[in-house]
Structure 1
Amino acid sequence: MDTIASAFKQTQRVVDDAFDATASAKAHLYLNFGSHRLRIGVLDAERNKFVALEDYESARPVTVEGAVEMLRELSNSSLLLQQQKWNQVRIGIKNQQFTLIPETLFDRNAREEYLQLNAVIEPDEEVISHYAHPRLELMNVFTIPNKLEQWANNYFAGSRVEFVHQTSALMEGFLHMAEPHAKPQLYIYVDKNYVTLVVLQNMKLEFCNSFYFASYEDFIYFVLFVLQEKKMNPDQDQVIVWGELLLDSDLHDVLRKYIRNVKFGKKPTAVGYSYRFETLFEHRNFDLYSLHFCD
């Protein structure tokens, strides 16, 4: 346990002065679960406002078992996870075990077959779930680690627990922020060694995928590939970026080298934020905030 606990370091923490952990039954708990990051947020349902956030990052990938063990550790030490009764618990899964199916073609009994087209499923270690996107007329089929599902359902036994894939949160968040455009619009979310690329056109999904990158060359290759596929012009068309990307980073420099019009995204609108959140970068935590729109 000491090894797992030492792998994760707290990188962000903001808590509203008026936050009352004992009032969790009137609040929503949002949790992002991945091999490099555990991010926890609380939204006051009565005020429709985010009031707390904690972020834990690991420098190296951690196994599912290790990340769940860290959650157990945090349930003893984190102000946010010490509470077990919430109005709602929604957990976003960060992995590449997902596929998108048109709503009209979706068959619940064929979910495993859909996933097997681009993922290796381990039935003893994960369960298959799906999330509906009515506005996009598609289904996101994805896997949930067994150990995470068991921990969440047991620990939050008195709460309504839901699971969605990170890409579902991002798509709903981008839809919320987007305006109808006749031309395709590229939205980029950068995570540690992963980049998710989403293209919307007239509020319809044209592309969505998540790529692993080990170098700057890999990263910009995927971005330019999608621009080319969607006939977008890197010298003219704007791209909007969210996630773990800093203005003075080498990754941002590479992006700006090949794309003229790069813009950092903002926090989602139509939901409030404690003034404490003003210390955080606007373009970070977007996948966590966007879990709020996965109703």
Structure 2
Amino acid sequence: MSPSTELYRNIKYIKDDRFDIDSLHHYDLSLIIGDRDFQLCVIDQRENRCLLIEDYILSAYSSEDEKINMLAQLFESHTLLMAGFWNSVKLAIKGNHFSMVPCHLFDEEYAPEYLQHLSPVSPDRDLYFAYRFNYAETTCVFSANRKTIHWIRSHYPNLHIQIVHQSAALLEGVLHHNQEEKLQVHLMIDRFKLHVMVHKGTHLKYYNQFLIKNFDDYIRYSLIVFHEFSLNPKESEVKVSGFIKEGSAHLNELRKHFPNIVLTEKPRHIKFSFHFDEVEDHQYVDLLHLSLCE
């Protein structure tokens, strides 16, 4: 099992017996870095089979340098993360510093300007990225800490690391697997955050994320979006994924307001062995759907 220390704690470790250390050149490595968490997943690209999922909680820190130090110790103690001969490496960044721009209005030269209304732009501190969705005529513009990106890239100098925003992984999965021509609502319960997605077919109508301070915030922000689209929360189907368990008090409370909740399925484009039965189908959807980002 992967290590835990006072700087980080491993809360999920699942490995398929098929994992072969000598076959890393056939494996795709997916990473997600959040404010206080870090996840990784390995998929054998020859048959789209998930072989490994790990989830870590990071200790509190006061600077980006401290966070990088935590991640550095995690990487150095890990049996796989320091390897440099993966088939591919993809990294998703969690964060509020992003903007969705219609493709016909997007100009890469002005990427920082799309984010000006969110917080002061700091080219010395941040790098800017843009990701055009496969299933929506939308581009996600986002920033990530320059030091963190350089540190990640230094571990895989011979690979081009695809860097996307967490929303790209979420939305690619939602739009890939749910293309019915009806208005659909998806809630993703993240750690201290709610993601709300509304779409019709592959037409993305709404996406936003909300900082959560208490559980009632999940309900309050969801109802605001329902009101905006004139949807009846008692009648509309709501697809839910993320860090919430079937039978939990929190899910039962959500169902009082949204009786037609449907927990999402595991990604249909990925194969899973019995080892992953302990992971509920609606969990780690952003991590697993990162494989759809191109």
Please indicate the TM-score interval, normalised by the length of the shorter structure. over 0.9
Partner Cα separation in structure 2 for residue 60 and residue 197 of structure 1? 27
Aligned letter for 2:79? L
> Please, what TM-score do these two structures have when normalized by structure 1?
0.93
Alignment of 1:80-119 (within 5 A): 80-119=80-119
Question: Does 2:160 correspond to 1:181?
Answer: no
- What SS does the aligned partner of 2:152 have? helix
- What SS does the aligned partner of 2:135 have? coil
Partner Cα separation in structure 2 for residue 291 and residue 30 of structure 1? 7
Q: Indicate the residue corresponding to 1:196 in structure 2.
A: 195
Give the number of equivalent residue pairs: 291
Question: Does 2:273 correspond to 1:274?
Answer: yes
Point out the more displaced range, 145-154 or 112-121. Answer: 112-121
Aligned letter for 1:216? F
Question: Does 2:27 correspond to 1:30?
Answer: no
List alignment gaps of at least 5 residues for structure 2: none
Point out the more displaced range, 72-81 or 44-53. Answer: 72-81
Q: Indicate the residue corresponding to 1:8 in structure 2.
A: 8
- 1:60 Cα offset (Å): 4.8
| Residues 98-122 of structure 1, C-alpha deviations (whole Å, 9 max, x = no match) | 0000100111111111111223333
- 1:9 Cα offset (Å): 1.0
- 1:58 Cα offset (Å): 3.5
Q: State whether residues 7 and 70 of structure 2, in contact with CA within 8 Å, keep that contact through their aligned partners in structure 1.
A: no
- 1:47 Cα offset (Å): 2.0
Aligned letter for 2:263? F
Partner Cα separation in structure 2 for residue 257 and residue 248 of structure 1? 13
> Please, what TM-score do these two structures have when normalized by structure 2?
0.93
- 1:5 Cα offset (Å): 4.3
Q: State whether residues 29 and 42 of structure 1, in contact with CA within 8 Å, keep that contact through their aligned partners in structure 2.
A: yes
List alignment gaps of at least 5 residues for structure 1: none
Q: Indicate the residue corresponding to 2:222 in structure 1.
A: 223
- 1:59 Cα offset (Å): 6.5
Q: State whether residues 36 and 62 of structure 1, in contact with CA within 8 Å, keep that contact through their aligned partners in structure 2.
A: no
Q: Indicate the residue corresponding to 2:137 in structure 1.
A: 137
Partner Cα separation in structure 2 for residue 43 and residue 16 of structure 1? 10
What percentage of residue pairs aligned between the two structures are identical?
27
Aligned letter for 1:161? I
Q: Indicate the residue corresponding to 1:209 in structure 2.
A: 208
Partner Cα separation in structure 1 for residue 123 and residue 19 of structure 2? 40
Partner Cα separation in structure 1 for residue 194 and residue 63 of structure 2? 20
Partner Cα separation in structure 2 for residue 145 and residue 54 of structure 1? 23
Partner Cα separation in structure 2 for residue 231 and residue 61 of structure 1? 42
Partner Cα separation in structure 2 for residue 274 and residue 159 of structure 1? 29
Partner Cα separation in structure 2 for residue 250 and residue 226 of structure 1? 23
Partner Cα separation in structure 2 for residue 62 and residue 283 of structure 1? 32
| Residues 124-171 of structure 1, C-alpha deviations (whole Å, 9 max, x = no match) | 221110101143111100012112211111101122211000001100
| Residues 50-73 of structure 1, C-alpha deviations (whole Å, 9 max, x = no match) | 111111024757754333223221
- 1:230 Cα offset (Å): 1.1
| Residues 221-279 of structure 1, C-alpha deviations (whole Å, 9 max, x = no match) | 11001111111111111101111112343432331121111111111112212331122
Q: Indicate the residue corresponding to 1:239 in structure 2.
A: 238
Alignment of 1:255-294 (within 5 A): 255-294=254-293
Q: State whether residues 265 and 281 of structure 2, in contact with CA within 8 Å, keep that contact through their aligned partners in structure 1.
A: yes
Q: State whether residues 82 and 155 of structure 2, in contact with CA within 8 Å, keep that contact through their aligned partners in structure 1.
A: no
- 1:17 Cα offset (Å): 1.1
Q: State whether residues 39 and 56 of structure 1, in contact with CA within 8 Å, keep that contact through their aligned partners in structure 2.
A: yes
Question: Does 2:112 correspond to 1:123?
Answer: no
- 1:74 Cα offset (Å): 2.1
